[in-house]
Amino acid sequence: MKTQEIIQTVDDNYMPVFARYSIALSHGEGPYVYDNDGKKYLDFLAGIAVNVLGHGHPALVAAISQQAGKLIHCSNLYYTEVQAKLVESLSKVSGLGKVFMANSGAEANEGAIKLARKYAKKINADKIEIISAQHCFHGRTLATLTATAQPKYQKGYEPLPGGFSYVPFNDIEALKAAVTEKTCAILLEPIQGEGGINMPDETYLQQVRQLCDEKEILLILDEIQTGMGRTGTMFAYEQYGIVPDIVTLAKGLGGGVPIGAFIASDKVASVFASGDHGSTFGGNPLACAAANAVLLAIKEEGLLANAKELGNYFAKGLLVLQAKYPKLITQVRGKGLMLGAQLTLPGRDIVNACLAKGVIINCTAGDVLRFVPPLTIGRAHVDEVLAVLDAVLGQL
């Protein structure tokens, strides 16, 4: 099909909930993707932080292909070797205990919320309230969009589930004031992604951990975007010297194959019994094979170190652009290969101009350019993006 025919067919038949760009992608290789007309794009969005190994990674393709020829799905009524290997790996790398496999980040957060409430009711039947931070993003199911403290995602879906409250991110005193005897959990992203690559203050997460310990409150960290090496360590919380009670994963976990997970300490997970939670597709053999391949590639290819090194290199380049265009860029922030450039104007036109020049980036929170490329990129790819950005900003 020609590009315009594809776009028209989708627009005629798909619910109009996405603001899409007018290109149709056909295939990818490494950090590049190609549209149906053969145009090449450097992908620094990576399916919104999903394609951590880039496109067409041989080990990931082989793992999926081999597993598809053996067993794609069998439900969780039966054990599989690929799931056994994955949950063992996730339990080990997280420093936590038990794993539940889901299909998406929203499902993972939904499960974490259920687990937290069930656990807290052992302490006090009234402990049902979840506190999250303004400008967060935790998903689009009814409970997770309620946890998402952004009215634009909630509008039109009232009545929302009860038991959620919100505080400003990075304000420990506001958080302390919001805690009550009914608080069962605090749900945070270590670095807010969709909210604009908002960084925690140096000691904020440690103070939150301490507060949770003092008040018998569970700390749930949503690492759906920051996890799987995105910030230079497998989990962002490792860089802040804390361990949550529950951590949630998705995006990069399957390298593009839909999968999610939440991992909890043995103590917290112990409240779940047979029938308390479930998923027909979650953790199926195909998704687990993909995730095992991603974990192995991150380890064998040194992608954590690459994310740190290339993230620092990229951030320095963005700071050079900030110095060159101080009226357009006011701040560069982020960790590893999760970076943002705060603009003084809406970013959509810049994103469109980069796309026209063959570079895919994205704008979040309206005025923050977001860069979440594959963890496999090299300096030449960063230089290519910086050159395009320089050209685009120079024309404004």
Kindly list the catalytic residues.
137, 222, 251
222 annotated binding-site participant: yes
305 annotated binding-site participant: no
Beta-sheet pairing, 218-222 with 246-249: parallel
223 annotated binding-site participant: yes
Which residue is listed with tokens 């036109």? Answer: 349
279 annotated binding-site participant: yes
CB atoms within 10 A of CB 277: 16
CB atoms within 10 A of CB 328: 19
Q: How far, in whole angstroms, is CA 55 from its chain's centroid?
A: 18
Beta strands per DSSP E along the chain: 25-29, 32-35, 40-43, 98-102, 129-133, 164-167, 183-188, 218-222, 246-249, 260-264, 329-335, 338-343, 359-360, 362-364, 368-371
- DSSP β-bridge partners for residue 341: 332, 369
Return the axis-axis angle of helices 303-324 and 379-394, rounded to nearest 10°. Answer: 20
248 annotated binding-site participant: no
106 annotated binding-site participant: yes
Beta-sheet pairing, 129-133 with 164-167: parallel
> 53 φ, ψ to 5°?
-100, 10
Number of separate helices (H) and strands (E) present in the chain: 14, 15
As annotated, the binding site for pyridoxal 5'-phosphate includes 105-106, 137, 222-225, 280
As annotated, the binding site includes 105-106, 137, 140, 222-225, 279-280
As annotated, the binding site for N(2)-acetyl-L-ornithine includes 140, 279
